[in-house]
Structure formats: C-alpha cells, structure tokens
Structure 1
Amino acid sequence: MSKAEFVVVANRLPVDHDPDSDSGWRRSPGGLVTALEPVMRKADGAWVGWAGKPNLQVDPFDFEGTHLVPVSLSEDEVQNYYEGMSNDTFWPLYHDVIAAPRYRRAWWDSYVTVNRRFAEAAAEAAAEGATVWVQDYQLQLVPQMVRELRPDLTIGYFHHIPFPAYGLFAQLPWRRQVIQGLLGADVIGFQRVADAGNFARAVRRVFHYETKATGIRVPNGDGTTRKTIARAFPISIDTESYIELAQRDDIKARAAEIRENLGNPKKILLGVDRLDYTKGIRHRLKAYGELLNDGRLSVEDVVLVQVASPSRERVEAYMQLRDEIELTVGRINGDRDTMDHSAIRYLHQAYPREEMVALYLAADVMLVTALRDGMNLVAKEYVASRVDNRGVLVLSEFAGAADELGSALLMNPHDIGGLKDTIVRAVDMPAAEQGRRMRSLRKRVRENDVERWSQLFLSALAKAKEPEVGA
C-alpha cells in the first residue's frame, strides 16, 4: 500500500481477532474506536495498534476501508508494558492514587521497548509530511520517538484519562522521560482544562520551560525552540447514532420489556461502568443500600440495575474489587429482596449498543458516581438516548463530563450523605424539571459531538503545521 497521509496510533487496533468471521476480524466495541471511526472513514488513513492477543504475528491488512498495521506483543510484554506499567502504574497514579501505583523497573523497560515498536510502525506507515495522531497513556513516549525518526511529520497526542496534580505525578520515577515523550507532539490534548494545567505545571517544575496559553516553548537541541500546544479538547460520542437507535420501534419495545421483566417498578436506577475502582461503584452501592435501610427508598418501588463489564481481570486490584462488589450486592439483596422484587439486578457482562440504548430508555435515573474519570461517555450516551426529554442524570463532579453537563445533578461521591440526598432528589424530580434539565443537556451533547471533537483537534494540528510568524 502507498503511505498514509493520516495515521492513528493506539494501543489496540479497531478490530478483534475472530476466527469465525469471513475476514477473521470484527470491529471492536470500544469507546476509542467509536470516537475515531468517523475520522478514519473520511481520511484515507492507517491505524497502528496491537491485535489484542499475545504473540499474534499479522501482516498489515485492510478492513472496512482502513489500512491496519498490527504491532505484535509477547506474553511478557502484555504483562509488563500493558498490565504492569500501563494499568498498575500509570492508571492508578493518574486517577488520584485511588489504588496504590507500583513502580517496577522491568515494567518501565518493557514500556520503553513497546513504545519504540509502535513509533517505528507509525514512522514506517506515514507519508512525507503526514499527520500522526497518538492515543492515550499507554503510548506517552511515542510522540518524541516519532519526531526523532520522522521530523517531517505533524504529531498530535490525546490523553483520554486525567493528568494528575504535580504532587502525585512527582512520585513517578520516570517523570522526566514521560514529559519529554509527550512534548514530542505539536498538539497535546486533554479532557479538562484542569488536566492541561496540571501538565503545564509539571513541565515547569521538571524542565523549567516557558509555558503560556499560546503554547510551551520546547528546545530543539540546536539553540532553536518550537511550540507545543497543550489544551483541553473534551471528547464526545457519535450523538446522532444514539438518537437513531433510541427512535427505533424495536428498541423502544425492548425498553418496555426490560421494565416489565423488572416488575414494572416506579423508578429504575441504572449504573453502567467498566468494573474499575475509579468508577465509584462501591460508593453507589453503599448509598443505595443505606437508602433502603433508612426507608427512604423501597424495593417495591425502586430497583438498581448495575451493569459492570469485565475489565483487566488478571490485575489483582480488579479481582479484589469484583469480589467486594459481588459480596455487597449479595448482602443488600439478601437483606432487602422480596419474592416479587429485587433490590439490585447485577450484570457482570458487556452488552451491544442496541441493548444499552434500551436500558438507557428504561432507566429513570442514571448514576455516574466516578471518583475520577477523564470524561465518562456513558453520561453522554444516556443524555443522547433520552429523545423523550425525560430521565435524570446524577453526575460526579470528578468526571470530565461535569465540565460540560452542568444541568445534571452534580455531586461528590465521597459524600455518602450528599449522594443519598441527590439520588432521592432524582427519584422525586417532577417531569417539568426533568424536561428542562434534559433539554439543556441534550443541546450540549448534540452541539459537542465526536465529529466536532476530532475537527477541533485536527484543525489545531493543521494550524501547528503552519510556520510561526516571525520564525
């Protein structure tokens, strides 16, 4: 194939290996894939990523109009680079140390090796003067590595998770290397203004570079400098696709069927999360259990549906979390269930988008209680799906979505008393107030969809290609 003018570099390819399908592959359901799919359709691009299985050697191939460049990882690299450094060091550190991060030199060495492999694949796939867009915390060293290999390229990086305050980031033994890696990009995108601010402070503290709203001056090593932009580009969803699904008769019928199967309660509360300690599932269950014990809610009137999709099942902290949540659910149901009504319907599995939209339509209250979240697209999916302008979004102020979705009921999930009051307020909210709030939320989500996110980021990148005035 000819070289690509636009290259996405992400930890995973946008496909999963599926021996049963005709091509041997099927499209992945992940949020990042959904977010970038419209961009890749329009651009004649290439996507560099891991094929999802260790030791899988696959030549580059085309899939549904996108050229895919698989990067191979060994079993050891999956354990050290991915499960270790990415998910047992960076993930907890960047999410306010909700779980303790572990710093292992062998993990870091593997992280450097794998990042270099991704960078080399991207440099090889890119045409002269092309644009390369690197995605997320697994690949923080790639921007600088690509720049060293291909100084002709324009390089973007988007950080999908929070970037921590310097007091936390300073713990990282390899903080200099990470900042240097990120500064290889021409544009570095974050979910929140606060994240971009945290990054700029880290740059000042570690390297003493000049950081302004107009950009960060990064030395080239030859006495000259170049400018790197670091600012917020909040990610979103393909809003129209959720609206279309929510208007389908079969999905509306499925929503009614879900309500009926749950015993037609007066109110359905819904939580949809990856099974992750950052999502505040424990806090949500504690608040709900106490509301039942206090008599402020009853199982005859209210049910909580908790979808917790499997996540990082080989990482110790996640195994412990699953045990703890399932014990809590069992205890609440054991104490509160009747023959006809269940307190919590707990579903440890992932569902296709159609079923999720039916659940969003069935749910009167959406609970997003994240302790720290880069964005939380579930909040936006729920809002997009509520074509009836009904339903209440209860949203943690520690999710990036809170910056945009101010008409939700915002709360602090660490304040269990406040969370309980907010849930009761949501359950009791009059239809007129629901409509007022939901119309405002839907306006934001429709205006700021995933296409606008990618346009804003890519136009900032295109501007970065232009020579600086007076340079």
Structure 2
Amino acid sequence: MSRLVVVSNRVAPIDEGKQAAGGLAVAVLAALKKTGGIWFGWSGTVVEEESQSEPRRTDVGRLTYATLDLSRRDFEEYYNGFANQTLWPLFHYRVGLIEVSRRTREGYKRVNGYFAEKLVPLLSPDDMVWVHDYHLIPFGEELRQRGCTQRMGFFLHTPFPAPEILVALPNHRELIRELCAYDLVGFHTHVDLRSFADYIRQELDGEVEDRGPEGGMLIHAFGRTLLARAFPISIDTENLVGIAETAMRSRHTQRLKESLVGRRLIIGVDRLDYSKGLPQRFQAFEQLLATYPEHCNRVSFLQVAPPSREDVPEYIAIKRELSELSGRINGRFAEFDWVPIRYLNKSFGRRVLAGFYRTAHVGLVTPLRDGMNLVAKEYVACQDADDPGVLVLSTFAGAARELDSALIVNPFDIEAVADALQRALTMPLPERKERHAAMMRILRSHDIGWWRESYVDALTRAPYG
C-alpha cells in the first residue's frame, strides 16, 4: 500500500490528536495511521523574519508531522490576503467583498512554492499526495514543476462558484490550470462539481465526460486528463452519538439545563463569519417572537460564535452588527427573568457542544453559502432518538443535499425561517422521530470513514501519468 502524504494549511497540534474535533483532522489521522505517512503544513506560528528553515519533524509511530513557520509578510499576503480576502469571498459568492491585488496573489504563489520545495525531499516515488483546501490550489502544479510524478489529489472544503462568479477573479484561468495539475479533484456536492465542469466547458472549451453520480467526471483540459468527483465530507457518527449520551451528565450541560428553567432551546454554532448568515438568523428569531408571541419567555436562542480573523475589517463589522442586533432584540423582548438571545463569542470543546446539541429542541443552521457544514450533521447525531430535536437547515449548505429530512429554508427569507422555527417547535413526536431516523441512516452509512476511504480509493484509480 502506498504511503499517504497529507498537505493542509494547518496541521493539527500533535498533543490534541485524540480530541481532533474537525472532520478533516479526524479523517487525516485515521488515514495516516492506516497507511503510514506524513502530515505536512503550516505550524500556525508567525515569525517576523523571512524563514527558509527545514520542516520541524515529529514521528509518532508510522506518522510524521512536518511543519513550517510563516513569516509576517507571508502570513499577510498568502493567508490574510489572497486566500481569505480574495478566494474565500469569491468561493462564497460574495463578489462585492473580493480584494484583488497582484501583491497578495504573488505571495500566495510564493508560499505554495516554498511549501512544495520543502516537501519534495520528504517524498518517496510511490507516495500518494492529498492536498486540502483553497489555500493550496497551486501546490500540485508547484510539485509538478519540481519533477514530482506521484499521484496527487486535491479536496476543496468550500463551495466552488458558478463560472459567472469565478470569472470575476482576474486570474481565474491560471487558478483552474493549477487545479488541473492534480489527478483527482474532490468537491462536497454535485452542485460544486457541475460548476467546475461548466467552467471547463464554457471558459476553456475543454471536454467533460460524465460518468454518473458515483463515477464523477473525466476532465480534459490544459493537455491533461483528471477525475473530478463529489465526496460529501461527514462526521465520526457513532463516536459522537456516544459522546452526546455521556455529555448529558456533564457539569456544563447540567448548568445549561438549569439556566433554561424549563424553557426550550434553539441553538446555533458557527465560526464568526459573514458566510454563516448570522444577522439574518437573529432577525428570524426576532420575527418568530413577534409573529408567534406564545414563545416569549418560553424559548431561548443560544448562538455560539467563536471569533476568527479578528484583524480583517469585514469580521470586525459583523461582530459589531451582531452585538447591536442581539442588544436590540433583547431590549425589545426581554423580561426580568428571561433574555431571549444568549450570544457568546467563545469556543467550547467537542464534548460540551455535544451536550448542548442534545439539550436543544431546534438546531438552527442557516449559512448563506457553505461547502458542507458539519454542525448540521453533528446536531442530528447528538439527538436522543426517542425524543429528537428538529434541524432547520439552509438550502445553501452542502449538507442540505443529504439531510433532506430537515426543514430546508432560504436564509434570505426571514419570515419563512421564522415559520420553520414555529413548525420545529410545535412538531409532533412521531414526525420528529421519523425525520431524525431518516437522517441518521445517512450519517451512519456515510460517515467520516466512508468519506476517507472513498476518496483514497478514487485517487488510486484516477487517471495517472
């Protein structure tokens, strides 16, 4: 069996391996422990001076962690710049937020080249290289230019935009050429896959052979043939079910239940980001209370939103907007013994969140655009099958393609989301159980292990050479 080399922007801290909550970390660790190999990427450390040092290596059994630091300049141009102020808004259909700069694009290319240069000496001829996410699109081409002939796959964890959106990027053709350097390109959904194929046809006049839902599409472009296919990422379902059951006895869960004083709970958990639809979500909860006043003093909404990219203006603005919205809504509806919205800018561990999910009667997951959104899947997995809560899910989340037994909503339609919340809060137990069981069948048959094995198997069979 070929050794697997995983490349991602960040490498999960070694001492946190047992608690790796993210889908990527869980899948990567399991794959590497099975095949042996390397997990390569940025250490998370920013240094002031330019660095060309060799990767720091730590061996844990058959697994090698290899990490590099970034200079302040590289961090600003590659990470804060092109990756997160150009590609992130572009891929999430927020064209008006895109910042275009040759300087940051050059920094993005430079860091990908730097990473590739440092990985090459660590590679063996029969390795398989699996690259992750929008930060590292050029990485495969950088390896090819350095003479690497190994099988290479790429997986995009964000949505992939329609051609009409993608062409807003001045160097869109160059970006797609870089993507076509891989042997396998994976997306979350068939919608993303179709957008990629449409770009190949419309903008490049390339050829696309559709091999059906399970076979993906053969792409012929830039003198290469590659396989593109949808692989919807998932969660460690059974493990999370067990965690949620035990978490109900935890101190945090008991404190939360006591604080509700018999009220029902709606929960949202999202990184603080403009793609998550949080202002619209707050407004929908306000609309619920205004339209269905019987829920006043009987329902609480807990929104957990850990801050991210705190030095980026758009993130500063949304944090301020949400503080103002929650303050206004609480001022309008609060009683001396009840605050409608509990808005927390902090993170919680996996076990604590599992207990919170299981306590909540409604999971409110309403991004304006999301590649998958694992919170939706985690909420479902954490429910008590004998008395499950209801998932209200945005049609623009990749998870909606699988979890179609949720209440699917358009997050831009504030009144419709409020109506869905009303329906969720009043849904009879038999319907709740039926919907939950249908979604659990999907989560059990398509868990994180299925995702990992499907991708690795497809990479071994993809066109090569």
> In which range does the TM-score fall when normalised by the shorter chain?
over 0.9
2:136 matches 1:139 = yes
Of residues 343, 346, 349 in structure 1, which corresponds to 2:343?
A: 346
> Conserved in 2, the CA contact under 8 Å of 1:304 and 1:344?
yes
2:459 matches 1:458 = no
Amino acid paired to 1:39? A
Pairs aligned (count):
452
Runs of 4+ displaced beyond 6 Å? 23-27
> Conserved in 1, the CA contact under 8 Å of 2:268 and 2:365?
yes
Deviation, structure 1 residue 99: 5.1
CA RMSD, aligned part only? 2.1
Amino acid paired to 1:444? I
> Conserved in 1, the CA contact under 8 Å of 2:385 and 2:436?
no
Deviation, structure 1 residue 465: 6.1
2-structure distance, mates of 1:380, 1:157: 23
* Partner of residue 19, structure 1: none
1-structure distance, mates of 2:144, 2:26: 27
> Conserved in 1, the CA contact under 8 Å of 2:120 and 2:148?
no
* Partner of residue 8, structure 1: 6
> Conserved in 2, the CA contact under 8 Å of 1:147 and 1:155?
no
1:28-427 residue pairs with structure 2 within 5 A? 29-55=21-47, 59-63=56-60, 66-97=63-94, 100-214=97-211, 215-220=218-223, 226-248=224-246, 251=249, 254-265=252-263, 267-389=264-386, 390-427=388-425
1-structure distance, mates of 2:101, 2:358: 45
> Conserved in 1, the CA contact under 8 Å of 2:280 and 2:411?
yes
Corresponding residue SS for 1:53: strand
**Structure 1, residues 313-369: CA drift from partner, whole Å, max 9, x if none?**
111100100000011111111221112111011111111001000001110000001
5+ residue gaps, structure 1: 17-22, 221-225
Corresponding residue SS for 2:129: strand
Corresponding residue SS for 2:127: strand
> Conserved in 2, the CA contact under 8 Å of 1:251 and 1:357?
no
1-structure distance, mates of 2:260, 2:95: 34
1-structure distance, mates of 2:454, 2:151: 15
> Conserved in 2, the CA contact under 8 Å of 1:47 and 1:66?
yes
2-structure distance, mates of 1:318, 1:24: 27
Corresponding residue SS for 2:94: coil
> Conserved in 2, the CA contact under 8 Å of 1:307 and 1:348?
yes
Deviation, structure 1 residue 125: 2.1
**Structure 1, residues 194-242: CA drift from partner, whole Å, max 9, x if none?**
111111122223332211124012454xxxxx42011111101111220
**Structure 1, residues 59-81: CA drift from partner, whole Å, max 9, x if none?**
22225753111122111111111
2-structure distance, mates of 1:73, 1:317: 23
* Partner of residue 20, structure 1: none
Amino acid paired to 1:32? L
Name the stretch that deviates more: 200-209 or 387-396.
Answer: 200-209
> Conserved in 2, the CA contact under 8 Å of 1:188 and 1:230?
yes
Deviation, structure 1 residue 312: 1.0
Amino acid paired to 1:217? H
> Conserved in 2, the CA contact under 8 Å of 1:154 and 1:465?
no
5+ residue gaps, structure 2: 212-217
Q: Percent identity?
A: 37
Q: State the TM-score, normalizing by the size of structure 2.
A: 0.92
> Conserved in 1, the CA contact under 8 Å of 2:225 and 2:463?
no
**Structure 1, residues 4-31: CA drift from partner, whole Å, max 9, x if none?**
8210010001117xxxxxx799976544
Corresponding residue SS for 2:462: helix
2-structure distance, mates of 1:98, 1:284: 22
Deviation, structure 1 residue 49: 0.6
